[in-house]
Amino acid sequence: MDELPEPVRRRLDEVFGEVLPSTTSDERDERPDPRAGDDELMANRPPHHDQD
């Protein structure tokens, strides 16, 4: 898709919001970091997991 001129893009964003991102999902690396391991799970565990 060709880039729109800036004034046109601004007007479309003003009227409709950012409907289409400037990059597609295959251009972005949205995969989680495999080195993160269980850190995220441990940080987001529910409080009842700490009870004995």
Q: What is the pLDDT of residues 15-31, one digit of tens each?
A: 888 666 777 777 877 77
pLDDT for the residue numbered 44: 85
The DSSP symbol for 44 reads: T
Residue 1 counted as domain residue:
no
Mean predicted lDDT score pLDDT of the chain: 78
C-alpha pair distances (Å), 14 with each of 5, 9, 11, 17: 14, 8, 5, 6
Flag whether 49 is in a domain. Answer: no
Q: Is residue 51 part of a domain?
A: no
In a domain, 37, yes or no: yes
Residue 40 covered by a domain: yes
Residue at 52 is within a domain: no
In the chain, how many domains are there?
Answer: 1
- Tokens encoding 24: 């597609």
Q: Is residue 23 part of a domain?
A: yes
pLDDT for res 19: 65
pLDDT at 41: 81
> Domain range spanning residue 30?
6-44
Judge contact between 4 and 11, C-beta under 8 A. no
Q: Is residue 14 part of a domain?
A: yes
Which residue did the predictor score with more confidence, 1 or 4?
4
